[in-house]
């Protein structure tokens, strides 16, 4: 199969794309072209994965009338023209868009060339680009029940997020806890605000540090690489043996297999990994994202009994500790783990692959 993929802006758009590509390449001979922006995260992640990468220059629309939006229209037209040239040269069987404004010109160009297209919406509330592309794409793959009604009914397929598939395929390595200086015989919670960290979560952990140090569970506190040095200066001089502070976790799925629960933002990729592995979670949605979609992501799973949620405006040392104490109870954690597994989609990559093959045959 020959497949062209586009997705950029945040890891939440890029990691599902890479997960899908890896799944396809493991199952069959697959040639891949990835089209992104020259400055986005994808410009480093994709070449590092040894995938052919091409770039277009495109920016997102502002939410108010501005001269910049006029410039964006011209950039879009130019990016469509450039994308058509890339696609004509590569000759893909299908084109996949996984979100971010770079998908706009790429998937639109493919549709105009008559190439079968699929867009993947990771969140419960669709982004602007996917709303626009839905009228041109042949398939719209979604990960939340709440997103189904937001797209043309005949085009929608429920597949889940391919990162879920990678999570369940991660190696089961109990020794990873010892690598971080944690005791495998004592429950562990991981608290992380994403690869770059989240200041409000860091603030709450620092305020709760002395109380957490007295608990019967351990905490792996992931500050985010941007905040690590500053956090180190704010931690007590005498560190608690039960709280391990690190800037980043390289293999989060492997770690998640070994923990009692997790605390973090409610990005679609994180939720896909946690539910697939049946990890009880406390979601703290970022209120700074488009249409507050992280709140809706988290709320969908809270309603199913698969997670707890603390809105950022209510995040304090007290609410954080109370949530962890709740998950420390074995019966509560087991029930939530079961609910998470019931709604997780570990077969997501395979389902997406099936859709792509069906489009190719059509």
Span 296-347, pLDDT tens digits:
999 999 999 999 999 999 999 999 999 999 999 999 999 999 999 999 999 9
Query: Do 109 and 256 belong together in one domain?
Result: no
Give the model's pLDDT for residue 65: 58
Query: Do 75 and 218 belong together in one domain?
Result: no
Residue stretches of the chain with pLDDT short of 50 = none
Give the model's pLDDT for residue 196: 75
CA angle, 342 as apex, 303 and 352 as ends, to 5°?
Answer: 105
Query: Do 226 and 293 belong together in one domain?
Result: yes
Query: Do 223 and 310 belong together in one domain?
Result: yes
Is 249 within 8 Å of 255 (Cβ atoms)? yes
Query: Do 31 and 104 belong together in one domain?
Result: yes
Q: Is residue 10 a known part of a binding site?
A: yes
Query: Do 143 and 96 belong together in one domain?
Result: yes
Query: Do 105 and 131 belong together in one domain?
Result: yes
Query: Do 184 and 110 belong together in one domain?
Result: no
Residue burial 171-182, b: 16+ Cβ < 10 Å; e: rest: eeeeebbeebeb
- What is the count of structural domains for the chain? 2
Give the model's pLDDT for residue 60: 72
Q: Is residue 195 a known part of a binding site?
A: yes
Query: Do 43 and 177 belong together in one domain?
Result: no
CATH number of the domain enclosing 351: 3.40.50.2000
Rounded Cα gap, residues 69 and 129, in angstroms: 14
Residue ranges making up the domain that contains 181:
168-343
Q: What are phi and psi of 85, to 5 degrees?
A: -65, -45
Query: Do 148 and 59 belong together in one domain?
Result: yes
300 Cβ contact list (under 8 Å, min separation 6): 124, 144, 145, 146
Q: Is residue 347 a known part of a binding site?
A: no
Rounded Cα gap, residues 252 and 308, in angstroms: 20
Give the model's pLDDT for residue 119: 98
Give the model's pLDDT for residue 153: 94
Query: Do 132 and 220 belong together in one domain?
Result: no
Query: Do 193 and 53 belong together in one domain?
Result: no
């Amino acid at each position: 199969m020959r497949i062209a993929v586009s997705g950029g802006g945040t890891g939440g758009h890029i990691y599902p794309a890479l997960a899908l590509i890896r799944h396809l390449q493991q199952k069959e001979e697959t040639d891949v072209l990835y089209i992104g922006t020259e400055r986005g995260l994808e410009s480093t992640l994709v070449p590092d994965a040894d995938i052919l990468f091409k770039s277009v220059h495109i920016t997102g629309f502002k939410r108010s009338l501005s001269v910049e939006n006029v410039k964006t229209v011209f950039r879009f037209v130019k990016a469509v023209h450039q994308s058509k040239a890339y696609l004509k040269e590569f000759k893909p069987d299908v084109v996949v868009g996984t979100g971010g404004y770079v998908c706009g010109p790429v998937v639109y160009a493919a549709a105009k060339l008559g190439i079968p297209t699929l867009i993947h919406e990771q969140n419960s509330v669709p982004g602007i680009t996917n709303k626009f592309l839905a009228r041109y794409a042949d398939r719209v793959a979604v990960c939340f029940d709440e997103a189904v009604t937001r797209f043309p009914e005949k085009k929608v397929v429920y597949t889940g997020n391919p990162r879920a598939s990678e999570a369940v395929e991660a190696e089961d390595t109990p020794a990873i806890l010892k690598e971080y200086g944690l005791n495998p015989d004592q429950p562990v919670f991981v608290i992380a605000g994403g690869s770059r960290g989240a200041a409000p979560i860091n603030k709450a952990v620092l305020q709760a540090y002395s109380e957490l140090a007295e608990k019967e569970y351990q905490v792996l506190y992931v500050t985010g690489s941007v905040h690590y040095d500053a956090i180190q200066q704010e931690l007590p001089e005498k560190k608690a043996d039960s709280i391990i502070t690190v800037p980043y976790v390289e293999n989060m799925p492997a770690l998640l297999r070994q923990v009692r629960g997790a605390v973090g933002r409610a990005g679609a990729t994180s939720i896909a990994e946690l539910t697939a592995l049946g990890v009880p979670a406390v979601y703290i949605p970022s209120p700074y994202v488009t249409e507050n979609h992280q709140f809706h992501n988290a709320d969908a799973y809270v309603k199913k009994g698969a997670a707890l949620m603390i809105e950022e405006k209510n995040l304090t040392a007290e609410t954080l500790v109370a949530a962890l104490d709740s998950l420390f109870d074995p019966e509560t954690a087991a029930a939530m783990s079961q609910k998470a597994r019931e709604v997780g989609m570990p077969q997501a990559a395979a389902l997406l692959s099936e859709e792509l093959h069906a489009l190719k045959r059509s």
